Chain A
Amino acid sequence: MSRAALSEQEAADRTESVLVRARGLKVEYPVRGGGRKHRGRTVSAVAGVDLEIGEGETVGLVGESGCGKTTLGRALIGRVPLTGGTIEFDGKDITNASRKQWRELNRDIQFVFQDPYASLNPRRTVGQTIAEPLQTHGIASGKELQARVTELLDMVRLPQSAAARYPYAFSGGQRQRIVIARALALQPRFIVADEPVSALDVSIQAQVIGLLEDLQRDLGLSSLFIAHNLAAVRHIADRVAVMYLGRVVELATSASLYSAPRHPYTQALLSAAPIPDPSVQRPGRIILAGDPPSPVDPPAGCRFHTRCPLAVDRCRTEVPPLATIAEGHQVACWVAHAQATIPVPAVPPKTVHGVPA
């Protein structure tokens, strides 16, 4: 079987089991304040993103502050109005779901945010907090409810006695596990976790990452794990998407992305990440100059070209599509396309992987 045929077969397999499918997603905000310079302008926070998340799959979403990763995550849970594009969940178009419809959708789609201190109501016991979604959706009451709360606490490795206590009695790591228990209460199929461990100490982060990994394996959960820490994502994600200024610039299996990053931005990110081992030699380390440009006035063509060490003329005018350059590896870079091991189609195919021009 030829390589192209194989990847088509693979694509077909994935299409069957895709749970979340975003196409051409765009989110723009009007600029608030900012003075004369920016008045009446818009921030292009997400500028045409295609992303699929399969059943039981964990996709990592990484990038630096302002790249649009949090906005993308919030768009997938209906918290941000879209400027363009569509979102499908389990084959149904949920792009224009109403608030009421989202209430139902939240049985399947849940989220965990960064700050476990802000996401728990200090006046409610842990038991009340975890029971709330079950009561609101009329799923359980009385003894059954208590049993379910105990079961959820057990799932996140907290004792039954935790139910009667208030959030202040718990550490950051424990609070984040309480937040996870609440997110799991309705047995969702998809979870968006936005920087779920960044507020925690390193020795505690591994507890929460390990818990999320176990839950995904045991419950067959799909998830989008958003983080700025590439090392944490390597551990948890099946595939990883790298965002820069509103666009996905590289999307690949974890193994492929970390061992052979193809986009110059991904290469720079990996090269900049400190490694806790002084014996590792890092020749040819890339240190990017300057800061990312403003998303109010993003550069034309490839948005990374202003900082890219490899930029050629074409990069300054034409937007490179996210195209497959090797099995399970897509990149939006003209230079990487030219070096691809399989031919990159001149026109992006009308598959779920292509980026509309």
Chain B
Amino acid sequence: MNERLLELTDLQVAFPSARGPVLGVKSVTMHVGERERLGVVGESGSGKSVTALAILGLVQSPGRIVGGSVKFRGKDMLDPSVARKVRGREIAMIFQDPMVSLNPLMTVERQITEVLRRRADMSKDAAKARALELLELVGIPAPAERLKQYPHEFSGGMRQRVMIAIALAAGPDLLVADEPTTALDVTIQAQILELLRRLSDELGLAVMMITHDLGVVAEFCDRVQVMYAGRVVERSSVEDLFGAPLHPYSKGLIASSPRVDVLQQELTSIAGDPPAHADAVAGCPFSPRCPEVMDRCRTSEPPLLQITPRRWVACWRRQEQEVAS
């Protein structure tokens, strides 16, 4: 297997609440390899976005990392001075809403050249030339004219392309993309995914794709981590996950995703709602909604265990079946 770029070990993030601190991320262990496209899939409250922020050292107070480690090429990302150096240079991030990260009062050229001068120590002229190349690279038509424009003059899809250009400015090895296509229309989403796929191939860029959309995972990723209630509950290749999901939550999620290509007789839903926070349920956090629940699940939490050479699952029933067979 190729070299590991990023390694998270037993990451824990806590948030204060009226009843004392609660965990938003309870235990997340994962890695991203060089050039790999990793999907992190989960629903609201699963802890996937907080995990992404933790990787970049961007967890905002009152949230706090209370345990575990985040290493990028062996460097400790939980050390703020290290994170500041790596962020934007070796790891870059794009978000769902590009307007949040773009300055509405600055031309696109100025925003890109500032990043280049700060993060890549370029001269003013070199930065301008590179900004033009970057807009071309992300497929913005008439890039020379577009550089002189302000973010509001761009459509949603074009703004996301600008954000990708800024993210690529300093030549990162890993791009963390948090729901980058969720706010976009389906035809524009297809364009952006196509662009990210091309960039990942051409530049050898690893991508951590955080999404709630299994369709995006199936079309973009090599490997996937399924998150639920602040934990990783399943980890496998994309083919294995969709071919034969192991965790009952993964199964439920796949069965409840509507498809355009086939008519499903009935869309199955998962009963109940996700827990309010990562510690709200004793035992397995999915046990109150699980159709395959056993007594043990309600009292003791299953660890994420490797049950075949390429698959991990946090489920007592699956682990017992594996031991039996």
Is A229 interfacial (CB 8 A cutoff)?
Answer: yes
Q: Per a CB cutoff under 8 Å, which of A205, A269, A277, A289 touches B186?
A: A269
Q: Could you tell me which residues of chain A, from 254 to 269, have a CB within 8 Å of some CB in chain B? A: 254-255, 258, 268-269
Question: Is there contact, CB below 8 Å, between B269 and A204?
Answer: yes
Is A288 interfacial (CB 8 A cutoff)?
Answer: yes
Is B267 interfacial (CB 8 A cutoff)?
Answer: yes
Interface size class of A (residues with CB under 8 A): 35 or more
Question: Is there contact, CB below 8 Å, between B256 and A258?
Answer: no
In angstroms, how far is the closest chain A Cβ from the Cβ of B213?
A: 7
Question: Is there contact, CB below 8 Å, between A287 and B155?
Answer: no
A204 CA / B213 CA spacing, docked (Å)? 13
Question: Is there contact, CB below 8 Å, between B190 and A272?
Answer: yes
Question: Is there contact, CB below 8 Å, between A275 and B212?
Answer: no
In angstroms, how far is the closest chain A Cβ from the Cβ of B247?
A: 13
Q: Per a CB cutoff under 8 Å, which of B218, B238, B252 touches A274?
A: B218
Question: What total count of A-B pairs have CB within 8 Å?
Answer: 129
Convert A237-272 into 0s and 1s, putting 1 for each residue whose CB lies closer than 8 angstroms to a CB of B.
Answer: 000000000000000001100100000000011111
Residue numbers in A under 8 Å from B269 (CB-CB): 203-207, 210
In angstroms, how far is the closest chain B Cβ from the Cβ of A238?
A: 13
Is B94 interfacial (CB 8 A cutoff)?
Answer: no
Q: Per a CB cutoff under 8 Å, which of B212, B218, B242, B243 touches A202?
A: B212
Is A32 interfacial (CB 8 A cutoff)?
Answer: no
Is A291 interfacial (CB 8 A cutoff)?
Answer: yes
Question: Is there contact, CB below 8 Å, between B256 and A64?
Answer: no
Which partner residue on chain A sits nearest B258 by CB separation? A231
Residue numbers in B under 8 Å from A313 (CB-CB): none
Identify the interface centre among A207, A209, A232: most chain B CB within 10 Å of its CB: A207
Is B254 interfacial (CB 8 A cutoff)?
Answer: yes
Question: Is there contact, CB below 8 Å, between B259 and A269?
Answer: no
Identify the interface centre among A234, A276, A289: most chain B CB within 10 Å of its CB: A276
Residue numbers in B under 8 Å from A275 (CB-CB): 215, 218-219, 259-261
A288 CA / B185 CA spacing, docked (Å)? 12
Interface size counted on chain B using CB atoms at 8 A: 45
Question: Is there contact, CB below 8 Å, between B185 and A65?
Answer: yes
Is B79 interfacial (CB 8 A cutoff)?
Answer: no
Which partner residue on chain B sits nearest A203 by CB separation? B270
Question: Is there contact, CB below 8 Å, between A228 and B239?
Answer: no
Residue numbers in B under 8 Å from A271 (CB-CB): 190
Given contacts A274-B213, A276-B218, A278-B219, contact A230 B260 (CB under 8 A): yes
A203 CA / B248 CA spacing, docked (Å)? 12
Convert A158-191 into 0s and 1s, putting 1 for each residue whose CB lies closer than 8 angstroms to a CB of B.
Answer: 0000000000000101100000000000000000
Given contacts A206-B267, A234-B260, contact A171 B273 (CB under 8 A): yes
Question: Is there contact, CB below 8 Å, between B187 and A201?
Answer: no
Is B201 interfacial (CB 8 A cutoff)?
Answer: no
Given contacts A174-B273, A202-B212, contact A279 B259 (CB under 8 A): no
Question: Is there contact, CB below 8 Å, between A203 and B260?
Answer: no
Which partner residue on chain A sits nearest B265 by CB separation? A235
Is B96 interfacial (CB 8 A cutoff)?
Answer: no
In angstroms, how far is the closest chain A Cβ from the Cβ of B72?
A: 28
Question: Is there contact, CB below 8 Å, between A278 and B258?
Answer: no
Residue numbers in B under 8 Å from A289 (CB-CB): 191
Is A280 interfacial (CB 8 A cutoff)?
Answer: yes
Which partner residue on chain A sits nearest B217 by CB separation? A276
Residue numbers in A under 8 Å from B257 (CB-CB): 202, 231, 276
Q: Per a CB cutoff under 8 Å, which of B43, B189, B266 touches A210?
A: B266
Is A5 interfacial (CB 8 A cutoff)?
Answer: no
Given contacts A201-B43, A231-B258, contact A288 B264 (CB under 8 A): no
Is A273 interfacial (CB 8 A cutoff)?
Answer: yes
Residue numbers in B under 8 Å from A258 (CB-CB): 260, 263
Is B102 interfacial (CB 8 A cutoff)?
Answer: no
Residue numbers in B under 8 Å from A255 (CB-CB): 263
Q: Per a CB cutoff under 8 Å, which of B185, B219, B256 touches A203?
A: B256
A112 CA / B65 CA spacing, docked (Å)? 41
10 CB contacts below 8 A, A to B, read A64-B186, A65-B185, A204-B269, A228-B185, A234-B260, A255-B263, A275-B218, A277-B218, A280-B261, A289-B191
Q: Which A residues have a C-beta under 8 Å from some C-beta of B?
A: 64-65, 171, 173-174, 201-207, 209-210, 228-232, 234-235, 254-255, 258, 268-280, 285, 287-291
Q: Which B residues have a C-beta under 8 Å from some C-beta of A?
A: 43-44, 141, 155, 157-158, 185-191, 193-194, 212-219, 238-239, 242-243, 252-254, 256-261, 263-264, 266-270, 273-274
Q: A64-B187, A271-B190, A278-B218 are in contact. List 20 more A-B contacts (CB 8 A).
A: A64-B186, A174-B273, A201-B212, A202-B257, A204-B270, A205-B256, A205-B269, A206-B267, A230-B260, A234-B260, A255-B263, A269-B186, A272-B187, A272-B190, A274-B216, A276-B214, A276-B259, A279-B242, A280-B218, A287-B194
